[in-house]
Each structure stands twice: as structure tokens, then as C-alpha cells.
Structure 1
Amino acid sequence: MEMMKRFKIWTYREGDHPLVHDGPVNNLYAIEGQFIDEMEDKRNPFRARHPDEAHAFFLPFSVTNVVNYVYEPILSIHDYRRDRLQRVVRDYVRVVADRHEYWNRSEGSDHFMFSCHDWGPDVSSADPELFENFIRVLCNANTSEGFRPKRDVSMADIFLSYGELGPPRLGLDPRNRTILAFFAGGAHGFIRELLLEHWKDKDADVQVHEYLPKGQNYTQLMGRSRYCLCPSGFEVASSRIVEAIYAECVPVIIKDNYWLPFSDVLDWSKFSVRIPVDKIKDIKTILQAIPFEKYMKLQKRVVKVRRHFEVHRPAKPFDVIHMALHSVWLRRLNVKLEQRDY
């Protein structure tokens, strides 16, 4: 792959822990910290030795850590204004721009950030001119909230338990899966509320639970299901899509305005099903109408694409970190074609 041979990334050294050069490596926003750590790992083959040899420039701040450290003292008074987050990021960019020539020469078009926090998209909204060309790698890839598919990168949201890089493989053979569709989760947002309203604890084939019955295992139930329902919560991003893929269960996408991860190279129609929100009541009819032969093809492709959503440290070719970098590489190539004068 040309990217593996050529792509070099400079990670800025400015800033101190914990807001930059660090991030969560476990639980909900784990991939944010894993990516920052990978970029700063001396084993990283994309690591530029000097900024002059870099094709892209990474700003290693963690939105999750900014929220935790800047907002935590005031969250008790329900002050969720984004201006504090925006000031931190804007000040960091200005430090980088003042100390180095690279941001200014390209107006930020070869620079990128990485965030899986729900507030990640908000960092640039207060100063759209400054961030007009900036590449944002975001899990919360909502086109109705300013996500730009040609400029931004949709990243897979991945939950990592402490000390683990993924869940155990508990998926059954597709012919032995007795549950048609499965979901378990809280009523976060109107889409889940609709799903629970129509299906909660009402059907043996479409098993939808707000809370799992005592003694049942979430991962095992996914592994016994042909289709795994992946509705939006309060935001479009959800780790359920990747959890479904890990369980070799065909994801059923129930989201509005969501730009699916790595859509530059992955055709999601080949290994997932998309159901419009207004068809939630018809989930069983829609899924039962899919011929078993087609389901088998979808499921085999889920198995095939699984490697693109796996986390390895150090990263491996074609895994999720390399897929994110490949998406940045593609956008960097576009910048080169559009801006030949630098």
C-alpha cells in the first residue's frame, strides 16, 4: 500500500499532560487515547523524524480530557457551554501557528485532530474561519451538526474494557443463531425511545431490552443473533456497530444523518442493513423478508471486514487505526491536488 511506504505524520510537542499527549485508553472513549498514544509511540512507522518530511500534522489534544479537567468542577451547576472547550483548542492552535510555519502555509488543511467524545465536533464551531480547512477525525459524524464528509473523517466508536483491546469472540455459526434481532440499552434519545416503545420485551424474535434480564450475557446474546440493532443514542456515534461486527452479527443501522466510518473504501450495504427511523415498527417484517442466502452473504462480509475495526498495539496494517490514517491520507492527497503552490 502506497500509504504504508510514504505517509509521514508529525505530532506536535507543544502542551503538557493531561490535556494533550494523553487520553482515555479504556471504556467509552478508549480509541481517542489509544490513537494519541499510537501516534507518539516510537515504533509507529508513520512517525516523521522532522516536520519538514511530514505530509500531515497531528494535534494531540484529547477532547475527553479537556472536558474532564476543564468542566468537571462546574458540571455540578449544569454549565455545559462549549466556550471553555473551544478556547482551549483555539489557544493550542494559535501556539502551534505562532511557533511553526506549517499551519499558516496551508491554512491548517494538512492538520488533523482525533476525538470520539460527543463534544468533539464543537471544537471548531466558534471559529469556523480558523478551522475551515482543518481535518477532524470524529466518531460523532453527524452531517446535520457540521460533519463534512469530503474534509472530515468518520471514525468507529470502540468500547475497550480495562486492559483489553476487544471483547472475546463468542459468536455462533450463522446457521445456529436463534435470535432474529437483538438490542439492549437505555432510552437515550428519541430513536431509542421509539425502538423501546414498539419492541421492548414484546417479541421473541426481535429481542429488545432496556435492561437485560438477570443472568443474561450481552456479548453472548449478540453472538446468538443474526442481526444486531444499532440505533442512535443522544448522539449518532455508538460502540454497538463495532460490538456487532466483533460478534459477527450483521449491524442494523437505525440513525439519521450518520456518515458511516471509512465509507471512502467500505461499502456498508454489503455487510449491514439500514432501516429508516420511521420504519422502526416494521423491523421484524423487513428483516424476515431478507432471504437466508442474502443474510449469509452479509454475515460472511461482516467476518471479512472485522479486521478493519480491530485495535492492535502497535497498530497493524488494515486495522482500525490504519483505516483512520488511510482516511486522513486520502484527504491529504486532495489537499495536494487543490493547493499546488506550497
Structure 2
Amino acid sequence: MFVITQKNVTFNISLEKPHELSSLNETHALQIEPKIKKKFTNLEKLEVKLGKARAAIKEAATFGNQTDDSDYVPSGPMYWNAKAFHRSYLEMEKELKVFVYEEGEQPIFHNGPCKSIYAMEGNFIYQMETSKFRTRDPEKAHVFFLPISVTSIVHFIYDRNSRGHWDPMRQTVMDYINLVSGKYPYWNRSLGADHFMLACHDWGPELSKSVPELFKNSIRALCNANTSEGFKPSKDVSFPEILLPGGTMNGLLGGPSPSRRSILAFFAGGLHGPIRPILLEHWENKDDDIQVHKYLPKGVSYYGMLRNSKFCLCPSGYEVASPRMVEALYTGCVPVLLKDHYVPPFSDVLNWKSFSVEVPVDRIPDLKKILSGISTRQYIRLQRRGKQVRRHFEVNMFAKRYDVFHMILHSVWLRRLNMRLHGLEYL
């Protein structure tokens, strides 16, 4: 939540509720007194354009879009407001400019993994640095990207044998922010509010605390979107953890029809965190319909089990992030979220209840009853909707419209739309 004062008018700007995308208020736009001649700053000009974008989104949410978008037109209950999302996406394509700081060297900066469960860090950094949304002129930028790879920091700097093992990692983040804030005026101008970082590693939230303004003000795009650890849906972005064993989606997409899926629910994974022990205690080797394994039997294919299952169980480990939700969507299996304090990816736009099942942790003993109680008709709806939204979770070597790269960027765009920097005061 930002409290912003301009000309004695206070705006409380928030995205706490996902459907607030449809109520973006054009009154956030810059108010210009017609008889006063003034030379406007670049920032003021940017704010005027953002105000027009807000107005266009509100109009689309109310009256629909007057556009011919032959590529993809969002529709259906998978979206909180499909018309508003569509217009917002088109406005992003037309307006958004991102300045990527060039300071910092690989492997800690401008780098990241591409084949682990943290692969999205490297994928996004690569896509961002070659994207049409990138501008080399910071005066034209709406947002500023800090190309820090938390996964690389952990890999190259973390020393488990050191008593103060957090200190060198935190110092690395502090040094980088000090570098860019000393060289450019933009961090200090907004106290970091129009800057964003991206981290898929579990320690992303913790390392963001290295600089108070980074934690409190900046847009943090995190896989580990845990509200109990300070994730704020009003300013932070939840994006998916995606495991690409070969570095691409090859062989990961698709699965049989619902009628050919013989297993009611499936999970296989290590025993860690507070939720999985409960799941295994109640269901491991207890029921043929609920296939729960700590270790898969020899010769059994993990992806084969996903494709033969109607529902795929997605419990948290020590952290809320997990690649299982995307694995389910890739293979046509309906995700079952067994998580506390978790904000699902892109939930400012996507209505997860329309294509997944949420089961409270205390109802794990009732899993079979809950899932068996979902009618065939409703299951087919869930599965079909999951296949429709899958495009938003796909990773492409060359980014495609509405794919995961663009959805992350769109979530950042929404947060920028919901703040005003001209005359900014934090109260």
C-alpha cells in the first residue's frame, strides 16, 4: 500500500484484491491546469501516458475492447476480468519501457541458472536484456530492473561453514544498490519504488531485506510468494517456479484426455517442510486412488504418473514455491494446492479457483472425499481451463506474447500503473 500526496489530495493505491485490476482509476492521472504554461519533465510526461493507459483499461473493463487482436483474446472465468487484462496487456505492449542497469558482472549479475528449479531467474534476465521492452535511455523508463541473480549469489558466495554466512550475501546486494544509487538519480528519486528485482531461489525474500527500501518499496518478483515472510500482493509479484530438465519445454507438454486418466491423485517428493509429512502419514501406500510416494518405485516414470492422474497434489516444502503446479498444467493434470500463506502466480489476473483445487492443510485426511466429490462435468471444466491458461506458464527460447516472460512483465506493469511518482511523498 502506497500513500501518495499530490496537491493536497491523497490516493491510497493497492492491489490487495486481484479483481481491483478492473477498477483502476483514471483520476490517478496527472492533473494539468489549462492556463498555466509549464515545461514538463520526462517523468511528468510518463505519468500522463500512464494515466491514459489507466483510463483505457477502465473503459475496456466496462465497455469491452475495440481492438482486432488476432493472436489471442483472453476470455472465460480463468480471468478476474478478461477485458481489463486484455486492454492492460495491449497498453503494456504499446507503452512499457524498462531500463536494465548494466553495472555488475557475471556470474552474480546478468546471469542465472537455466536448467534447475530456479531456471526462471536466468531465463527472465536473458529475455529482459534482449527484449523490445528494454530502453537504453533511463529517462524514458517506467521501471528499472536490477539484474541480480540470488541463485548465483547463493551458489558462489554462500559458505555453509562460515558463522556469518548471510553477511557476504547481504553485503553483495547492498553494494550493488549503493553502486546504482550513487551513479544514477533514479533509485533515490523514488526510494526504489519504480525498481524491481526477480528471484526464484527460496532465499530471495531474505536477501531483499539487505536494503530496507528494496524490501519495503521495490517491486519484488518472487517464486517464494509467502505472505508470512513479508510478501505483499499490492506491490510484489508472484511468478511460477518451473523445472526444465533439458532447458526447454520439449517433451513436457500434453497428456491424455480425462477419460484415460486412471489415477485420482498423485504426488511424489522428498519429505521436508511441515505439510508433506502430514500428506505422507495419511496417504503413502494407503490407497490405490491416491498415489502418494516419497520415492517412486523403480522403473515408474514421474511424468507418466502426472499424465495418468486426474489431480496432481502440490504441497509446500520448507517454502511455498514448487514446480509441481506448472508440471500439472503442462501435462493436463488439475493442480491441487496444499499450501498456507501462498499467493499463486499471476493471481492479480488469473482466478486460480476456476482451474485448480485448493485444499486446506487440515483437510488433507479428507483428500479422497473432496476430490471424489468433484463431478465429472466440473472436472472436465477445470482441466479444460487449465489447458487454456497453460500458455501463460510456457517458457519460450524466443518469448511469445502472453507467455510466462510477458506475464511476469505484465505483473510488474500493473504495479507501476498503481503508483504515481510525481510529487511523491511517503507518509
After TM superposition, the score normalised by the length of structure 1 is 0.95
Cα separation, partners in 2 of 1:156 and 1:194, compared to 1, 3 Å = same
Aligned amino acid, residue 95 of structure 2:
R
Cα separation, partners in 2 of 1:79 and 1:262, compared to 1, 3 Å = farther
The residue that corresponds to 2:395 in the other structure is: 311
Matched, 1:234 2:318: yes
Matched, 1:55 2:142: yes
Deviation at 1:84, TM superposition (A): 2.4
- Indicate which of 88, 95, 116 corresponds to 1:6: 95
Aligned ranges 1:315-330 → 2 under 5 Å: 315-330=399-414
Larger Rg: 2
- Indicate which of 294, 311, 320 corresponds to 1:210: 294
Aligned ranges 1:154-165 → 2 under 5 Å: 154-165=238-249
Deviation at 1:259, TM superposition (A): 0.5
- Indicate which of 153, 162, 166 corresponds to 1:82: 166
The residue that corresponds to 1:249 in the other structure is: 333
Contact persistence 1:166–1:310 (CA under 8 A): no
Cα distance in 1 for residues equivalent to 2:211 and 2:193: 15
Matched, 1:46 2:166: no
The residue that corresponds to 2:349 in the other structure is: 265
The residue that corresponds to 2:156 in the other structure is: 69
Cα distance in 2 for residues equivalent to 1:35 and 1:140: 16
- Indicate which of 372, 376, 399 corresponds to 1:288: 372
What RMSD, in angstroms, separates the aligned Cα atoms of the two structures? 1.4
The residue that corresponds to 2:284 in the other structure is: 200
Secondary structure, counterpart of 1:335 in structure 2:
coil
Deviation at 1:49, TM superposition (A): 2.7
Secondary structure, counterpart of 1:113 in structure 2:
strand
1:280-320 deviation per Cα after TM superposition (whole angstroms, max 9, x unaligned): 11000000111111111001000000000000122111000
Matched, 1:340 2:422: yes
Cα separation, partners in 2 of 1:61 and 1:200, compared to 1, 3 Å = same
Cα distance in 1 for residues equivalent to 2:334 and 2:250: 18
Cα distance in 2 for residues equivalent to 1:272 and 1:208: 19
Unaligned runs of 5+ in 2: 1-89
Secondary structure, counterpart of 1:230 in structure 2:
strand
Cα distance in 2 for residues equivalent to 1:127 and 1:310: 32
Cα distance in 1 for residues equivalent to 2:328 and 2:285: 20
Cα separation, partners in 2 of 1:4 and 1:129, compared to 1, 3 Å = closer
Secondary structure, counterpart of 2:286 in structure 1:
coil
Cα separation, partners in 2 of 1:144 and 1:81, compared to 1, 3 Å = farther
Contact persistence 2:191–2:213 (CA under 8 A): no
Deviation at 1:167, TM superposition (A): 4.3
Cα distance in 1 for residues equivalent to 2:98 and 2:320: 29
Cα separation, partners in 2 of 1:34 and 1:129, compared to 1, 3 Å = closer
Aligned ranges 1:25-40 → 2 under 5 Å: 25-40=114-129
1:238-278 deviation per Cα after TM superposition (whole angstroms, max 9, x unaligned): 00000000011100000000011101100000000000001
After TM superposition, which residue ranges in structure 1, 4 or more long, deviate above 6 angstroms? none
The residue that corresponds to 1:22 in the other structure is: 111
Cα distance in 2 for residues equivalent to 1:323 and 1:275: 26
The residue that corresponds to 1:279 in the other structure is: 363
Aligned amino acid, residue 169 of structure 1:
L
Matched, 1:142 2:226: yes
Cα distance in 2 for residues equivalent to 1:319 and 1:300: 18
Cα separation, partners in 2 of 1:65 and 1:107, compared to 1, 3 Å = same
Unaligned runs of 5+ in 1: none
Secondary structure, counterpart of 1:303 in structure 2:
helix
Cα distance in 2 for residues equivalent to 1:207 and 1:3: 43
Contact persistence 2:248–2:397 (CA under 8 A): no
- Report the number of matched residues: 335
Contact persistence 2:248–2:395 (CA under 8 A): no
The residue that corresponds to 2:181 in the other structure is: 97
Cα distance in 1 for residues equivalent to 2:383 and 2:146: 37
Cα distance in 2 for residues equivalent to 1:329 and 1:216: 43
Aligned amino acid, residue 333 of structure 2:
C
Q: Which has the higher contact order (CA 8 A, sep 6+)?
A: 2
Contact persistence 2:174–2:210 (CA under 8 A): no
1:32-72 deviation per Cα after TM superposition (whole angstroms, max 9, x unaligned): 1010111112xx1101131111111000010000011111x
